[in-house]
Chains A and B, each alone.
Chain A
Amino acid sequence: MLKQITVTVNGVQHTLEVEPRLLLVHMIREVLNLTGTHIGCDTSSCGACTILLDGKSIKSCTVLAVQANGKSITTIEGVAQNGELSPLQEGFKENHGLHCGFCTPGMILRATELLANNPNPTEEEIRWGIAGNLCRCTGYNNIVKAIQYAGAKMRGDELPSTEPEFV
């Protein structure tokens, strides 16, 4: 039996008829064609499918679309404002925080909530904060730097050096 739901995705309201078993990630990718949200493991382990649901980072492969009824969703497509990269997007670009980019949308949305709750996290807090997001390429060091850069930018502090780290 189809269920009618209303969701606001990146500021745009959609009313959809969905099967209750439709996973949120499939609604985002296949119904709304927003393919920036990735599916990695499909078992709530890798974090590639992370989005914001009412401002909280969640793994959309383990949530049903019907559970998002009445809620607001942010995907990577909604992060840049008026063509301007968000501080996190800029941080990832400036600090080589990505190689293949598969994990990046999930990393950026997870880090968005992290910085909203804790504007000046320590390195350790950042590493615990992205513990649910796997990256197979970067070795994480430049991801940590990217998040530190974004935090500094959002606080209006002096920006840290963006020299890439070779270890």
Chain B
Amino acid sequence: MIPQSFQYESPGSLSEAIAMLQQYGEDAKILSGGHSLIPMMKLRFATPEYLIDINGIPGLSFIKEENGILRIGALTREADLEHSDFLKKKFPIFSDATKLIADPQVRNMGTIGGNIAHGDAANDHPAVMLALNATIVATGPDGEREIPIDEFFFGFYMTALQHGEILTEIRIPVPPSGTGNAYYKMERKVGDYATAGVAVQITLDDNGVVTAAGIGLTNVNPVPLRAARSEQALIGKPLSEASINEAAQYASEDCNPSSDLRGSEEYKRSIVGTLVKRMIHQAVNRANN
């Protein structure tokens, strides 16, 4: 399968790329890792007339902590997230999630920015971003703007990114000690999208009271879903089997999975409930270590 013809541009700076996006308008698409876009172009689901390859722009690939904020550049590859020793310490959730994204070759190309910008509820990073309360940085003709993750996903393949804007960075508050996070997705086989996936981050104080909780769900709703009632069921009290069961129950009730080849709606709701429990336990184990 060969994509439809297009004009290819590889700008060497962010401002040049933004100018091109403005010039070419709706007919232009950004190319990052290309592992969602090129398959769609081969199937002619996407037929951009201009492809703006941002891989030649320096300074878009990094993982660093600054003033209590974890900053990840949009062009950072899945493989870099998977193997980062820095992330393994405070954010093992990234190696949990990336290990389950496709396979090593795809992870050598796919970027975190592309994964989020694609706006697909089947992708794994969106749920992780919800659990970690990320902020998305979009850079456009008027400079940078920060978009809270809860205002980022709009609908099927739709995000808050405006035309002419490039997702350049992800910012995540570094949580206090006593915090743990974890991700798991059920998949039928390696490389498959999630039947259902659950991301959890939990903070406990010295008395074992939950002071913060973030729970994101993958592929069980038209848009990536925050399990808000589940979070509330945990916050402000010591963790107990009762509150964990309540959180699991709410998540399985509040998601909207559709029956498909990966399973029936009922099956997916039950997977969500089970994974919420397991990921809470996993996150708390990590918080205690």
**What separation, in Å, do the CA atoms of A114 and B3 have in the docked complex?**
31
Q: Which of B1-55 contact A (CB under 8 A)?
A: 1-8, 10, 31, 34-35, 38-39, 41-42, 51, 53, 55
- Which of B1, B6, B39, B55 is within 8 Å of A20, CB to CB? B6
B40 → chain A closest CB, angstroms: 11
Q: Which of A86-136 contact B (CB under 8 A)?
A: 110, 113-114, 128-129, 131-133
Contacts of A142 in B (CB 8 A): none
**What separation, in Å, do the CA atoms of A22 and B190 have in the docked complex?**
28
Contact with A along B63-90 (1 / 0, CB 8 A): 0000000000000000100000000000
- Which of A21, A42, A67, A132 is within 8 Å of B105, CB to CB? A132
Q: From DSSP, what is the main secondary structure of chain B's interface residues?
A: mixed
Taking A21-B3, A62-B34, A131-B190 as contacts, is the C-beta distance between A44 and B39 under 8 angstroms? yes
**What separation, in Å, do the CA atoms of A69 and B10 have in the docked complex?**
10
Contacts of A62 in B (CB 8 A): 34-35, 38-39, 106, 109
Are A59 and B105 in contact (CB-based, < 8 A)? Answer: yes
Contacts of B39 in A (CB 8 A): 43-44, 62
The chain A residue with its CB closest to the CB of B7 is A1
Are A110 and B105 in contact (CB-based, < 8 A)? Answer: yes
Contacts of A64 in B (CB 8 A): 8, 34, 38
The chain B residue with its CB closest to the CB of A70 is B56
Flag whether A148 is at the interface (Cβ < 8 A): no
Contacts of A147 in B (CB 8 A): none
A30 → chain B closest CB, angstroms: 11
Are B104 and A67 in contact (CB-based, < 8 A)? Answer: no
Are A132 and B191 in contact (CB-based, < 8 A)? Answer: yes
The chain A residue with its CB closest to the CB of B190 is A131
B35 → chain A closest CB, angstroms: 6
Flag whether A19 is at the interface (Cβ < 8 A): yes
Are A63 and B104 in contact (CB-based, < 8 A)? Answer: no
Flag whether B103 is at the interface (Cβ < 8 A): yes
B227 → chain A closest CB, angstroms: 29
Taking A62-B34, A67-B34, A132-B190 as contacts, is the C-beta distance between A57 and B105 under 8 angstroms? yes
Top 7 nearest A-B pairs (CB, nearest first) are A132-B103, A20-B8, A131-B190, A56-B108, A21-B3, A131-B103, A132-B105
Which A residues fall within an 8 A CB radius of B?
1, 3, 19-23, 26, 42-45, 47, 50, 56-59, 62-64, 66-67, 69, 110, 113-114, 128-129, 131-133
- For this complex, 28 residue pairs linking A to B, each with C-beta atoms less than 8 Å apart, are A1-B7, A19-B5, A21-B3, A21-B4, A23-B2, A26-B2, A43-B39, A44-B39, A47-B105, A50-B105, A56-B79, A57-B108, A59-B106, A59-B109, A62-B106, A62-B109, A64-B8, A66-B8, A66-B53, A110-B105, A113-B104, A128-B99, A128-B104, A131-B103, A131-B191, A132-B102, A132-B103, A132-B191
